[in-house]
Amino acid sequence: MKNFKRSDWHELLLPHYPKLVEFTQLGFKKMIECKSVIIDGDVSVEIEPKTCANIIHDVFEAYAKDYFNNIDGVVTGKHDGVFGIYFKEKCFIRFNKLNDDYSISNAKTAQRDKFLSQQNLSMFPNEVVYLNLGYTVDTFWDEINGIHLVCWNNGKLWEIDVIEEKTVYEQYTLDIQETYQDNILERRRTTLKKVLSAKENKQKSN
């Protein structure tokens, strides 16, 4: 049975939000750089949105493979021709540009419709949940408006603002590290006090 509980997926994928944001933003940055090279000429070149999306996708795919394929239980690559992150046999995450309603912004196909309605695809076990990681952009493809993790099942079930949650996670991690360092320093100070006190008492006894 498929698990559609938002909190479960958020907890599982939260440690990877920083990398998902990093790779998406890097893909967008590379796309902007490619556009600047292409249009730097005497002839006006109109770059289609599909071209922009393909560059972002290809960069994301390369970096995601390099990162996730070094994690146990995660397989990143093309499955039946569709790129995604197969995460611990629990979910398959596609990467796409998103529409304003967080649906996948590409041509409608039978496979796409199955994905958005959680119909079982032959290459995965029945309990695997299909998630979409994607980005929204402004009209001119000059900046990313947001990065979101979305679950659809004949309609949007839930959405996670990955950039926002990444910031919360990084601050939480930083707070833990600072607390850990403070505890170490406090233990060192306590130990030093004990050593000095023992040394002083020994000197007094002599």
| Mean pLDDT of all residues in 85-111 | 91
- Paired strand residues for 85: 76, 93
Report DSSP state, residue 48.
P
Ranges assigned E (strand) in the chain: 74-79, 82-87, 91-97, 129-137, 144-152, 156-161
**Cβ proximity of 85 and 93 under 8 Å:** yes
The pair of three-digit structure tokens given for residue 84, joined into one six-digit string: 């995604």
Please give the average per-residue pLDDT across 11-40, as a whole number.
Answer: 94
Indicate the pLDDT class of residue 112, thresholds 50, 70 and 90. Answer: confident
Pairwise CA distance, residues 29 & 12, whole Å: 28
Q: What is the DSSP letter of 142?
A: S
140 closest CA partner among 58, 62, 35 = 35
Report the C-alpha gap between 97 and 28 in whole angstroms.
11
Tokens coding 40: 């730097």
Per-residue pLDDT at 153? 96
Using the predicted structure, report yes or no on whether residue 199 has a pLDDT greater than 60: no
For residues 108, 154, 115, 50, the Cα torsion angle rounded to the nearest 10 degrees is: 40
Quote the pTM value: 0.83
The residue ranges of every structural domain in the chain are 6-163
- Residue 32 CB contacts under 8 Å (≥ 6 apart), including other chains: 142
Per-residue model confidence (pLDDT) at position 178 = 57
Average pLDDT, the chain: 87
> Of 7-11, 54-58, 107-111, which gets the smallest average pLDDT?
107-111
Tens-place pLDDT, residues 27-39: 999 999 999 888 8
The predicted pLDDT at position 91 comes to: 96
Distance CA 101, CA 104 (A): 9
Chain CA centroid to CA 194, Å:
47
Lowest mean pLDDT among 13-22, 98-107, 169-178: 169-178
Q: Give the pLDDT confidence of 123-166 residue by residue, as tens digits.
A: 899 999 999 999 999 999 999 999 999 999 999 999 999 999 99
What's the rounded Cα separation, in Å, for the pair 177 and 175?
5
Range list of H helices, 17-159:
17-38, 49-68, 110-116
